Amino acid sequence: MPNHIAGPAAPTAEEAYADAPDDEVEMLALMNLVRAEDRTPQERGREWMLRYAAQQDRAALRRPAPPAGSVPIRPGGRPPRDPADFANQLRELDRRDGSGRGLLGPDAPEWDGGDNPLGYVRQEYLAWRSGQLSDLAAVGAAMRAMAEVTDDNGRSGQAAGRGEPWPREQLLDLARRRVAAYMRAVDFGIDAVADQRRAEAELRELEVAGGSARR
């Protein structure tokens, strides 16, 4: 697959994805978006579609080229989806909603044919990611929230060590704040994957324990 898509507005993959999160972080961010939006796959929002199309583009770029005349097969015996299919879905959504951000709109002929739709994804992802990272207030708030829940978690552990455990409702509130803080951090590309999963597991344990106590 070519790394540069024809068209004056299309960034290279290196330019578009220079600040993209690692795969594990981005995949968790996509799952978080699905949960936050609470939509069916057919109703997922524009940010999810853009980030998923970009993720599929990035994955395809890493795959080795198949031998001439062969058809690549993914686990399960099916060929991988062409990332240009997801790119065209993004174009359709932006045509409908007028939601494109880049220099050339989704109807521009530069994006037609072959792999050229991927140029649109790269243009739009670069515009979106640059805007996300330039929101310094939001990034700072995400970092502070992580620091605060880390400090509170340490205080709760110290209290338990002294034989003065926090009340269950206070622990539940902390667990929920930890999950929310780590989800926000992951959204910005901060590698808080393990922290979020651990916080979610601890929240589930508290909720299950509370349900058992009420029965």
Residue 59 has pLDDT above 90, yes or no: yes
Residue 206 has pLDDT above 60, yes or no: yes
Residue 25 has pLDDT above 60, yes or no: yes
Residue 203: the pLDDT is 96
Cα(150)–Cα(170) distance, integer angstroms: 15
Report, as an integer, the average pLDDT of 182-202.
96
The single-letter code of the amino acid at 25 is V
Residue 4: the pLDDT is 45
Nearest to 86 by CA among 34, 59, 121: 121
Mean pLDDT of the chain: 88
Q: Which residues contact 60 (CB under 8 A, 6 or more apart)?
A: 1, 80, 83
Min mean pLDDT across 43-47, 50-54, 179-183 is at 43-47
> Token digits for 62?
């890493």
- Residue range 101-150, pLDDT digits in tens: 999 999 999 999 888 999 999 999 999 999 999 999 999 999 999 999 99
Counting DSSP H helices and E strands in the chain, the numbers are 8, 0
Q: Are the beta carbons of 121 and 11 closer than 8 angstroms? A: no
Where residue 74 falls among pLDDT bands split at 50, 70, 90?
low
Q: Taking each helix axis as running N to C, give the angle between helix 117-134 and helix 46-62, from 0 to 180 degrees, rounded to the nearest 10.
A: 120
Residue 1 has pLDDT above 80, yes or no: no
Cα(147)–Cα(115) distance, integer angstroms: 43
Residue 187: the pLDDT is 96
Domain residue spans in the chain?
13-134, 136-214
Residue 66 has pLDDT above 60, yes or no: no
Most confident of 37-41, 119-123, 207-211: 119-123
Cα(145)–Cα(184) distance, integer angstroms: 9
